[in-house]
């Protein structure tokens, strides 16, 4: 149930966004991927879940049961919470016809409870706050009991308290599902609270790998610049990249 990525390369418009990247995530581990906007973080997640094809490289995910929590909750606006969450169970062929309406109601209720919500099955996404939308998208991600969960900036745009709530759920999901997880994030609190290990991307390469504690030591120019959010440092930020 580990993830192995070897020599992954992906180019867009003749620019190598990922240039021979290798890393792995051990079973049950949470890996954070950090780096400035445009450094290729989302591209890695999209390749892992099959939305994008790499130019070259080896992706080894032992069982393709992957859930993605997208940056912008990516709920269906025209579906209520119940339908949003049960969608995967009603549409995916391995689940089709497996559950009665009553089963689905139980499953949806339980998955909402896991993220601290209840009684909102009939609500539509626009009736929910940003933090609640993110929690519904977490609930949707876990409903199929995935072995892998990929989170794309799960706390982006949330205030610190709402971020803490989401971080707690990421930890809880790890403990309850034992899923192997990757969290793409900019947020220091998410990195330090949720991850076992961190990799930092810049210019197509991994410029740091280590634990959150090692990242916080800031003992290389990249970690120093990232942690202090400084404009000065080895990482140049293109004006058109954010």
Ligand X SMILES: Nc1ncnc2c1ncn2[C@@H]1O[C@H](COP(=O)(O)OP(=O)(O)O)[C@@H](O)[C@H]1O
Residues that bind ligand X (CB under 6 A): 12-13, 17, 35, 37-43, 241
Distant-in-sequence, close-in-space partners of 100: CB < 8 Å, separation ≥ 6? none
Q: How far apart are CA 208 and CA 98, in angstroms?
A: 45
**In contact, 119 and 55? CB cutoff 8 Å:** no
The listed partner (Mg ion, ligand X, none) that binds 212, CB under 5 to 8 Å by sort, is none
| Strand pairing class (148-152; 180-184) | parallel
Note whether 187 binds Mg ion by CB under 5 A.
no
Three-state secondary-structure class, residue 50: coil
Residue 73 lies near Mg ion (rule: CB under 5 A) = no
Looking at the Cβ atoms of 46 and 197, the one nearer to Mg ion is: 46
- Binding of Mg ion at residue 39 (CB under 5 A)? no
Tell me whether residue 46 or residue 147 sits nearer to ligand X (CB atom). 46
Judged by beta carbon distances under 5 to 8 A according to partner kind, the member of Mg ion, ligand X, none in contact with residue 155 is none
- For 128-148, b where at least 16 C-beta lie within 10 A, e where not — what string? beebbbbbbbbbbbbbbebbb
When asked if residue 190 is in the footprint of Mg ion (CB under 5 A), the reply is no
- 18 or 117: whose CB is closer to Mg ion? 18
Contacting residue, 32, 39, 42, 155, with Mg ion by CB under 5 A: 42
Q: How far is the CB of 40 from ligand X (least distance, A)?
A: 4
- Those residues whose C-beta lies under 8 Å from the C-beta of residue 64, and which sit 6 or more positions away, are 50
Residue 17 interacting entry, from Mg ion, ligand X, none, C-beta within 5 to 8 Å by type: ligand X
- Nearer to ligand X (CB atom), residue 41 or residue 134: 41
Nearest CA to 64 among 49, 51, 54? Answer: 49
Kindly state whether residue 181 participates in binding Mg ion, applying the rule CB under 5 A: no
Asked if 223 interacts with Mg ion (CB under 5 A), we say no
Euclidean distance between CA atoms 61 and 70, whole angstroms: 19
In the complex, which residues of this chain contact Mg ion (CB under 5 A)? 42
């Amino acid at each position: 149930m580990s993830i192995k990525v070897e020599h992954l390369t992906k180019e867009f418009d003749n620019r190598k966004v990922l240039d021979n990247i290798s890393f792995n995530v051990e079973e049950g581990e949470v890996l954070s991927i950090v780096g400035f906007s445009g450094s290729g973080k989302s591209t890695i997640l999209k390749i892992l879940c099959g939305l994008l094809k790499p130019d070259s490289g080896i992706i080894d995910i032992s069982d393709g049961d992957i859930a993605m929590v997208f940056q912008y909750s990516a709920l269906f606006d025209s579906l209520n919470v119940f339908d949003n969450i049960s969608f995967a169970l009603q549409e995916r062929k391995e689940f089709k016809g497996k559950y009665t309406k009553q089963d689905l109601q139980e499953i949806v209720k339980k998955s909402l409870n896991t993220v601290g919500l209840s009684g909102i099955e009939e609500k539509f996404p626009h009736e929910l706050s940003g933090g609640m939308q993110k929690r519904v998208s977490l609930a949707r991600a876990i409903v199929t009991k995935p072995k892998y969960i990929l989170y794309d900036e799960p706390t982006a745009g949330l205030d610190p308290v709402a971020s803490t709530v989401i971080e707690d759920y990421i930890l809880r999901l790890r403990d309850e599902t034992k899923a192997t997880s990757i969290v793409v994030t900019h947020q220091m609190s998410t990195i330090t609270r949720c991850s076992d290990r961190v990799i930092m991307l810049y210019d197509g390469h991994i410029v740091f790998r280590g634990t959150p504690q090692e990242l916080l030591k800031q003992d290389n120019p990249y970690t120093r610049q990232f942690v202090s959010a400084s404009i000065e440092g080895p990482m140049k930020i293109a004006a058109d990249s954010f």
